[in-house]
Amino acid sequence: MTPLISTDERDELLKNLVIPPRPDVLDKLMSLRQDPDITLQKLDDIINEDPALCVAMLKAANTPILGRGRHITSVHQAISLLGIKNVISLVSGLVLRTRLTAETPPALEQFWDSTLQIAMISSALCDHIVHVTDDCRSFALFHNCGMAIMLMRFPSYNRTLRLVEMASDDRIGLVEQELHGTRHDVVGYLVARSWNMPENFAKAILMQNDNTVMDTGPDAPLDHDGRMMVAVTRAARHVWRTLTPGKEDTGWEARKDEVLNYLGMSDVEFEDWEDAMHQELAVTA
């Protein structure tokens, strides 16, 4: 099991990596999630206070999976069509993107576009499974946030991403550690902790590529919600990675059985759903 990072390692990383402070809008969104009198207008007002967040929200809402061919032109319309809970989860993840747009290297915009696609596939999978925690939707947008930080910090990290795509899940961190002295899952964990995200959310980011991440029982590294976040996002990443015919997902075979078992899906059911998603994304691309 991957240990939580030491204080010394954390302090050393924080000296060399710039982690943006937790934005006020995230506090407002989290408070709104607990508000028994939540309304569409309250959420609309919070998002519209942040122009960059509005732009990111509309871009996400108009993706093929969420937009379903409709042209969504306002935050109010997006909330009406997608629902308040879905929008809160979506925006909670999009906040990170809006806070990392200064001095954007060309590779970062491409990275966020692919992350958004994975998040939208995750959302569709959540709808298919039905019984999932709300955090599953925002986790897909946060799960690789450490990569965004490393893209900004290390000019050569874009080349590392190409190596990572060819590595099995358990080797991704080893490649990053050898080339850059740290791993994106550790950096992502630091971001989540700095932003006061729930502990199971932060630990899921840290543990997502560990061989023991889906273990159950009293000594399991994650609770049920944490394992579900990892399983949904890993399955969505597989669908995204195999969108192009002939393109492989190197780590999937080693993870497939444990992920699908946790999602409660058979191989046949998942393959049928995957094919349907590929067809939908191909038609609407």
Cα end-to-end span (Å), the chain: 40
Q: What are the pLDDT digits (tens) for 73-88?
A: 888 888 887 788 778 8
Select the highest-mean-pLDDT range: 62-76, 121-135, 211-225.
211-225
Contact indicator for 189, 17 with CB cutoff of 8 Å: no
Residues contacting 139, CB < 8 A, separation 6+? 93, 122, 201, 204, 205, 229, 232, 233
Quick one: 120 exposed, middle or buried, by C-beta within 10 A (0-12, 13-18, 19+)? buried
Instruction: Specify the pTM.
Output: 0.84
Say whether pLDDT at 285 is over 70.
Answer: no
> Distance (Å, rounded) from C-alpha 214 to C-alpha 208?
9
The confidence band for 117, taking pLDDT boundaries of 50, 70 and 90, is confident
Domain boundaries, the chain: 21-100, 106-284
Q: Tokens at residue 29, please?
A: 């969104």
Which one of 3.40.50.261, 1.10.3210.10, 3.30.1360.170, 2.60.120.200 gives the CATH number of domain 106-284?
1.10.3210.10
Contact indicator for 212, 1 with CB cutoff of 8 Å: yes
Among 99, 212, 105, 205, which Cα is nearest to 155's?
105
Q: What is the radius of gyration, based on Cα positions, of the chain?
A: 18
- What was the pLDDT predicted at 10? 59
Q: What are the pLDDT digits (tens) for 39-68?
A: 888 888 888 888 888 888 888 888 777 766
Categorise residue 103: left if φ over 0, alpha if ψ from -120 to 50, beta otherwise.
left
Element (H, E) at 64: helix 64-67
> Distance (Å, rounded) from C-alpha 44 to C-alpha 210?
39
Among 94, 89, 96, which Cα is nearest to 188's?
96
Q: How far is CA 235 from CA 9, 21, 141, 186, 256, in A?
A: 31, 30, 14, 21, 8
Element (H, E) at 31: helix 24-33
Quick one: 155 exposed, middle or buried, by C-beta within 10 A (0-12, 13-18, 19+)? exposed
Among 181, 178, 99, which Cα is nearest to 141's?
99
Say whether pLDDT at 284 is over 60.
Answer: no
Q: How far is CA 162 from CA 111, 158, 208, in A?
A: 12, 7, 19
> Distance (Å, rounded) from C-alpha 215 to C-alpha 196?
25
